[in-house]
Chain A
Amino acid sequence: MGAMGEDQRERMEDATVDKFPEGLRVLAVDDDCVCLNVLEALLRRYIYHPTMAMDAKTALKMLRTGKVKFDLVITDVRMPYMDGFKLLELTGLEMDMPVIMLSVDCDKKVVLKGINHGACDYLVKPVYTNDLKNIWQHDKSRRRSQAISHMGRDNAVDERVHPGTLAMSKDSKNKRNNEYHSNKNTESTHSSTTQKSQGWHGQLSFITSF
């Protein structure tokens, strides 16, 4: 694959980032062609194997036939006919699959809705390189949880015992956001960057108040 050279370069450049497994099978769903094209290229850059779908119904079919065993789903929130929440709900009911929500906005209500429906993360468009570098940890976290639950422990303990992963504990989300800040170019004139990270911090403080 032509991307091998880039992979090695990325690893040398980012020695601080954990080694990530190649070949994570990601299903990305978005009715926006532009976003889907960029997302696919980004996923390939990290040697994930992306499959793209332009609507939730198609995505669900792919998940259900099981021809490809996906590790992770990334889905846009707002899509015609069936939205990301419905997809999230159905994948949650039918299969154990980490789902990342993707949206144009960082609306607190929408973020909470995603979390309440079982999303393991919430990304605001445009998706940045750093957002995707670490998504494999959701799959890793899920596998760990599965392994631990097989050992007969209480499932509620799982979410607290993995500080190194991006499980849904607030501490790990803080850590991720700190990495995000330090990795991002501080001179960026991208106003939605600040908006996005501030919005997310806003969500965190809201959540921790529970």
Chain B
Amino acid sequence: MDYSNLRRQAASLKKGLFDQGHLDEQFRQVEDLQDEASPNFVEEVVVVFFKDSGRLITNLEQALEKYPRDFNRWDAYMQQLKGSCSSIGASRMKNECMSFRDSCGQRNVEGCMGSFQKLKREHAVLRQKLESYFQLLRQAGPAGAATRPVM
């Protein structure tokens, strides 16, 4: 298996995520925290992130239907989600959270719904790309190689 090619693909995938604004500098900080003591830290945090954010999105979706125009409730969910997004560097998702919250402040239901749809799409895209990224890294080499963040 051509490990260097796989690593190149992983690097390219990651670069694309940065260039297109899906990820920001915070993701690099998270990568920087990975070391010999916690060699799978980035992937572990990403897994937790998608689990938590998936749950929050589901809850919010239900709330949007069950509690119409309950902007305070909707905003509370989004505030939580924004926190997770900013901790991991999920930049586009974070921006949609902020748009949604702005719409809540303006009591603009359409704005909220629009942002929410974008948020869900971005969530799905980011999840799929990061899953591919980590899969490539796993294929690219033994555990030792995986601890070095792919530049």
B37 touches A2 (CB 8 A): yes
Q: How many residues of B contact A (CB 8 A)?
A: 31
Q: Which residues of B contact A2 (CB under 8 A)?
A: 35-37
Q: Whose C-beta in chain B lies nearest to the C-beta of A195?
A: B98
Q: Which residues of A contact B52 (CB under 8 A)?
A: 32-34
Q: Which residues of A contact B88 (CB under 8 A)?
A: 34, 38
Q: 0/1 per residue, A28-71, Cβ < 8 Å to B?
A: 00011111011101101100000000000000000000000000
Partner of A34, one of B21, B25, B48: B48
Instruction: Kindly state whether residue B45 has any CB partner on chain A within 8 Å.
Output: yes
Q: How far is the CA of A205 from the CA of B91 in the complex (A)?
A: 29
A38 touches B83 (CB 8 A): no
B87 touches A126 (CB 8 A): yes
Chain A residues 110-165 with CB under 8 Å of chain B are: 125-126, 128-129
Q: How far is the CA of A45 from the CA of B32 in the complex (A)?
A: 10
A38 touches B25 (CB 8 A): no
Instruction: Kindly state whether residue A177 has any CB partner on chain B within 8 Å.
Output: no
A126 touches B33 (CB 8 A): no
Q: How far is the CA of A33 from the CA of B89 in the complex (A)?
A: 15
Q: How many residues of A contact B (CB 8 A)?
A: 31
Q: Which residues of B contact A190 (CB under 8 A)?
A: 24-26, 91
Q: Which residues of A contact B49 (CB under 8 A)?
A: 34
Partner of B38, one of A39, A41, A126: A41
Q: How far is the CA of A41 from the CA of B34 in the complex (A)?
A: 8
Instruction: Kindly state whether residue A189 has any CB partner on chain B within 8 Å.
Output: yes
Q: Which residues of A contact B37 (CB under 8 A)?
A: 1-3, 44
Instruction: Kindly state whether residue B5 has any CB partner on chain A within 8 Å.
Output: no
Q: 0/1 per residue, B47-72, Cβ < 8 Å to A?
A: 01100100000000000000000000
Instruction: Kindly state whether residue B29 has any CB partner on chain A within 8 Å.
Output: yes
- In the assembled complex, how far is the CB of residue A37 from the closest CB belonging to chain B, in whole angstroms? 5
Nearest 9 A/B pairs, CB to CB: A2-B37, A41-B33, A35-B87, A34-B84, A104-B83, A126-B86, A34-B49, A190-B25, A126-B26
Interface residues of A (CB under 8 A from B): 1-3, 6, 31-35, 37-39, 41-42, 44-45, 76, 78, 104-105, 125-126, 128-129, 185, 188-193
